[in-house]
């Protein structure tokens, strides 16, 4: 009988404490295994993060910004020369230019600019110019277009196109 009292009074509380400690040790062991796995993967994570940061810097360095909108306009003139058409007028809305000047560019938001181009040339050359324009990375679709010409082939045709341009689109790789 004394043995039963000793078991219930002395041994049973220690068994409960032993069981609680054993559960805590198993939980800590699982956390340790998880931590060791995290430590093992840490160099790969850092490498991936550095590669992504490098890629982001590379992409950001190749973006059009509001400071080089004039370079975009120069590109229009170069394309016009290549396709034997004359640019009569480039008209970005002044309100949009002022708004772009007020906006602080960030890496998340995209900025658009509506541009109007009035060009003159032969039908075929204008078609080639427009095809080239539509293939550019900054081109985001027409807003309107208008062709003015006559049956007399000696007079140049005028073509007016309004389109949305993405500022921050990738420049062409050379």
Own/partner long-range contacts of 95-100 (Cβ < 8 Å, ≥24 apart): 97/69, 100/66, 100/69, 100/167
Residue 173 has pLDDT above 50, yes or no: no
Contact criterion met (CB below 8 Å) for 157 and 148: yes
What's residue 170's pLDDT?
Answer: 45
- pLDDT digits 0-9 by tens, 56-99: 776 665 555 555 677 788 889 999 999 999 999 988 877 777 77
Q: What are the structural domain ranges in the chain?
A: 1-61, 66-167
- pLDDT value of position 132: 94
Is pLDDT of 159 > 80?
A: yes
Q: Across residues 8-34, what is the average pLDDT? A: 85
Q: Provide the pLDDT for residue 109.
A: 61
Q: What angle do CA 164, 165, 168 make, to 5 degrees?
A: 145
Rg (CA), the chain: 35
Q: Give the residue ranges of DSSP H helices in the chain.
A: 2-6, 12-61, 69-82, 94-102, 123-134
Evaluate whether 97 touches 107 at the Cβ level (below 8 Å): no
Query: Taking 90 as the threshold, does the pLDDT of residue 35 lie above it?
Result: yes
Name the class of domain 66-167: alpha beta
Interatomic CA distance for residues 105 and 124, integer angstroms: 39
The whole-number pLDDT of residue 23 equals 93
Asked whether the predicted pLDDT for residue 157 surpasses 70, the reply is yes
pLDDT in tens, 104-147: 555 556 677 889 999 999 888 999 999 999 998 888 889 988 98
Phi, psi (rounded to 5 degrees) for 110: -105, 145
CA gap 9, 24 in Å, rounded: 24
Q: Residue 116 — φ and ψ, nearest 5°? A: -115, 130
What Cα–Cα distance (Å) separates residue 108 from each residue in 50, 99, 104?
19, 17, 11
pLDDT reported for residue 52? 92
pTM assigned to the model? 0.55
Positive or negative: CA dihedral 90, 95, 98, 100: negative
């Amino acid at each position: 009988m004394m043995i039963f009292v000793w078991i219930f009074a002395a041994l049973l509380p220690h068994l409960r404490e032993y069981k609680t400690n054993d559960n805590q040790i198993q939980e800590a062991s699982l956390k340790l295994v998880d931590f060791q796995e995290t430590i093992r993967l840490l160099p790969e994570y850092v490498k991936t993060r550095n590669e992504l940061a490098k890629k982001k810097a590379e992409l950001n360095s190749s973006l059009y910004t509001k400071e080089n909108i004039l370079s975009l306009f120069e590109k229009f003139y170069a394309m016009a020369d290549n396709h034997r058409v004359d640019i009569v007028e480039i008209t970005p809305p002044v309100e949009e230019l002022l708004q772009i000047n007020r906006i602080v560019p960030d890496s998340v938001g995209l900025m658009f600019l509506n541009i109007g181009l009035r060009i003159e040339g032969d039908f075929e050359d204008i078609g080639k110019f427009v095809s080239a324009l539509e293939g550019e990375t900054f081109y985001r679709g027409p807003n309107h277009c208008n062709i003015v010409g006559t049956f007399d082939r000696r007079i140049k045709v005028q073509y007016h196109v309004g389109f949305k341009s993405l500022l921050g689109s990738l420049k062409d790789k050379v």
